[in-house]
Amino acid sequence: MKIDRRSFLSFLIGGAAGTSLSPLPWKLMDDSSIWTQMWPWTPVPEDGAISYVNSVCTLCPGGCGITVQKIDDRAIKIEGMKQHPLNDGGICMLGLSGLQLLYGPRRVKTPLKRVGTRGSDQWMKISWKEAIAETAKKLDEIRSDNQPHDVAAISGSDRGTVPQLLMRFLNVYGSPNFIRTPSIQDSYELTLRLMQGNQSMAGFDLENSDLVLSFGSGIVDGWGSPVRMIRAKSSWQRSQTKVIQVEPRLSNSAAKSDQWIPINPGTEAVLALGLAHVIIKESLYDSVFIENYSIGFDEWKRHVRDEYRPDNVGKITGIDEQTIVTLARTFARASKPLAICGKGQGSTPGSIGEFMAVHALNALVGNMNKAGGIWAVADHKYIDWPEINLDDISKNGMSKGRLDGAGSKTYPFTRYRLNRFADAVDTDDKYPLKMLFIHDANPLYTMHDTQQVQKAFAKIPFIVSFSSYMNETTQYADIILPNHTYLERFEDVPTPTGIPKPVIGLVKPVVDPQFDTRHIGDVIILLARALGGNISAAFPWKNYQACLQDTLKGRWQTMIDNGFWSDPDFTAPSWEASFGLPSEKFEFVNSDTGLMPKSDLISIEGDEASYPLVLVPHDSIRLAKGFVSDPPFMVKSVSDKVLKRDDLLVEINPETAKSLGFTEGSKAVISTPKNKASVKLHLFHGIMPGIIAMPTGLGHEGTDEYIDGKGVNYNRLVGPVEDPVSGLDVAWGIRAKLSKA
């Protein structure tokens, strides 16, 4: 048959018409939609018996109670524990994402020994027996050389049985070098020590205050115990408590306050003293407290009267003189006013001048150790272990001063100085560090001038990490002895910072250990056994759980049943019994040292001519910045005004941006005296002109593919600035400049 043009077209058209009239195309479309949705790799989660386990979250120092929902042996959801004294059902997004850490790709699954260069992520799996033997051998060698003080430990906390076991191990081994990671707890401890003579933590009875004056504290941005703070904020709405936020940027805390007072960054101490000036001048202070329970007031009064007139203070802080006077009156006339400080989430200590000045404000209005005030909370001592016996080697080691200079003649009251540690490792040839333990800390991310800290760590011959997760510091370890995660282990969580009444939480195993990990407590006990002698004798327990049960004594059963132990009837001691100084009074001027609240302004690095802008950090509750970084859910909820693909957006005032020729989303290079980085700009009216605010918690490496390489680590751009009194790193920012990319 001949196919001519006509029959060809008829065939084509007829075929098309026939097909479209038949059910075939519709059937195919239907089938394709069904079959493209029925790939077997879309998981079908198995059903099973539902159960709930109460425990405590340890991903930040907040200490919230959690209830974990399980299906058979799988944990499927973490929720806030109802009736828990701190969070009563509320929970933050880090707590909610905990299962992504438990089952996630950043877990360290077995003991590992490094085979590549540091940071190259090349490991060899080893058995626990080998790992412990190797670590013990190293410890034994150092001790046989009579150098036990050349071993140090960095820990995220110094309270609770696990940090205490680590400290005990170090001490009986012969090293005084246990170091806690820095935070505002250091500054508050020091302030309370100098002004009240207490070795205690600051507790804030915020729920009962009627005016809260915050010097940059991120009340709803993760300061203190984050969920408790947000709950307190909601309670103020009911009680009509006024909240005043003083800081250079309109943070979420500032936006949620009743009044936002922008201030030149770093001048908070001057404002506090200016307020004190007005309060004293107008006799608005609590004369009962000042006359009967304090000393040094007159001396300090003279200093404040001469130096901090509102007009001068206004010039330095950039706050209108009238605003200062009104603020002072509002504060002093409230019945339970409370001033708090420690910027952002409080992860960087503040200057002692600033902390003493803010604390003096609370003293002026007599709002101490009473409802709605600041309480000096002595650590609830439930850990009562037998004394350790030191042999000669240990005694010799312990008699050596600390590597970081804390407690030395220069810094007698400072307990830990991780900022100096890195420097000392790098430069102090007389004190060559030979071994370092890392627990719940990520100094290679969290320390200012990270590259310098990294350089110092490179000099330490042997680093042992107990981390459950991969992160910057874990990548630098020689041996990883992975701890169980908080969802697989027992541990006690002592009263979190800022909480006035004692609450001890109990971390309980929710699921069986998922991998070949071991409890750090058990590993410490095993290491002690391997070393033998007096070291082994200091750990009389069979294992960690026996130690914990023995320590908690009668509370154990309550804690197993409820998940926590608390003392709701606890009250602060009366003023007669509050102060531990020889004067038994509150000291405006410390009689020993002559230190008083004054504003030694902490100047930041860089000269104004080359670096016309100021870079400050801004903390968000959606970006974890401690030893745990954002799990995938949290990265997902970060705004596209903070992170766009891998680019970090820094905030800048539109006026400043315009004057520099930048617009929204412009690419730029930010340079500081320490480092530089490529960023994008986000224009935001709620920031003082001349300031750049950089989100913290990003710029990770060596963690997992969901966070690595995203954004910039703020700490790499900033250098440490030492406070002259405490020797702590109190850098609140750095000078910077922006240039076109």
Q: Of residues 696-715, which lie at the interface with other proteins (CB under 8 A)?
A: 704-706
Interface residue with other proteins among 132, 151, 179, 230 (CB under 8 A) is 230
Q: Does 256 bind other proteins (CB under 8 A)?
A: yes
671 burial type by CB count under 10 A (0-12 exposed, 13-18 middle, 19+ buried): buried
536 burial type by CB count under 10 A (0-12 exposed, 13-18 middle, 19+ buried): middle
Angle at 155 between CA 145 and CA 562, to 5 degrees: 130
CB of 728 to other proteins, least distance (A): 29
Closest CB to other proteins among residues 30, 567 = 30
CB of 262 to other proteins, least distance (A): 5
Q: Given the structure tokens 């900022």, which residue do they identify?
A: 419
What does the alpha-carbon distance between residue 419 and residue 403 come to, in Å, rounded to a whole number? 11
Closest CB to other proteins among residues 99, 668 = 99
Interface residue with other proteins among 5, 42, 311, 429 (CB under 8 A) is 42
Closest CB to other proteins among residues 181, 252 = 252
Closest CA to 155 of 368, 438, 493, 375: 438
Tokens describing residue 168: 């005990």
CB of 326 to other proteins, least distance (A): 16
CB of 120 to other proteins, least distance (A): 22
What does the alpha-carbon distance between residue 11 and residue 214 come to, in Å, rounded to a whole number? 83
Q: What is the dihedral of CA 610, 613, 619, 624, to 10 degrees?
A: -30
Q: Does 105 bind other proteins (CB under 8 A)?
A: yes
CB of 206 to other proteins, least distance (A): 14
Q: Does 46 bind other proteins (CB under 8 A)?
A: yes
Closest CA to 109 of 90, 86, 128, 92: 128
Q: Does 99 bind other proteins (CB under 8 A)?
A: yes
Interface residue with other proteins among 89, 119, 401, 533 (CB under 8 A) is 89
Which DSSP string corresponds to 24-46?
HHHHHHHHHHHHHT--TTS--PP
CB of 714 to other proteins, least distance (A): 19
What does the alpha-carbon distance between residue 192 and residue 436 come to, in Å, rounded to a whole number? 31
Q: Does 77 bind other proteins (CB under 8 A)?
A: yes
Interface residue with other proteins among 92, 340, 390, 435 (CB under 8 A) is 92
Closest CA to 476 of 101, 107, 114: 114
Closest CB to other proteins among residues 48, 412 = 48
Question: For residue 398, what are the CA distances in angstroms to 175, 465, 526, 547?
Answer: 5, 23, 22, 25
What does the alpha-carbon distance between residue 437 and residue 121 come to, in Å, rounded to a whole number? 19
Question: For residue 436, what are the CA distances in angstroms to 135, 416, 419, 529, 557?
Answer: 11, 15, 15, 19, 36
Q: Does 683 bind other proteins (CB under 8 A)?
A: no
CB of 577 to other proteins, least distance (A): 35
What does the alpha-carbon distance between residue 447 and residue 665 come to, in Å, rounded to a whole number? 29
Closest CB to other proteins among residues 175, 696 = 696
Interface residue with other proteins among 23, 43, 386, 554 (CB under 8 A) is 43
User: Interaction with other proteins in 599-658: which residues (CB under 8 A)?
Assistant: 621-622, 632-641, 643-645, 653-655
Region at 533 (left for phi over 0; alpha for psi -120 to 50; beta for the rest): left
Q: Does 220 bind other proteins (CB under 8 A)?
A: yes
CB of 636 to other proteins, least distance (A): 4
Q: Given the structure tokens 């706050």, which residue do they identify?
A: 319
CB of 487 to other proteins, least distance (A): 11
**Residues belonging to the chain:** 741
Secondary structure (3-state) at 436: strand
Closest CB to other proteins among residues 231, 598 = 231
Closest CB to other proteins among residues 91, 341 = 91
User: Interaction with other proteins in 155-184: which residues (CB under 8 A)?
Assistant: none
Interface residue with other proteins among 7, 144, 234, 543 (CB under 8 A) is 234
User: Interaction with other proteins in 505-524: which residues (CB under 8 A)?
Assistant: 514
Q: Does 688 bind other proteins (CB under 8 A)?
A: yes
Interface residue with other proteins among 300, 539, 684, 732 (CB under 8 A) is 684
CB of 81 to other proteins, least distance (A): 11
User: Interaction with other proteins in 2-41: which residues (CB under 8 A)?
Assistant: 30, 33, 36-39, 41
Closest CB to other proteins among residues 232, 548 = 232
Q: What is the dihedral of CA 401, 403, 407, 409, to 10 degrees?
A: 70
User: Interaction with other proteins in 259-298: which residues (CB under 8 A)?
Assistant: 260, 262
Q: How many residues bind other proteins (CB under 8 A)?
A: 78
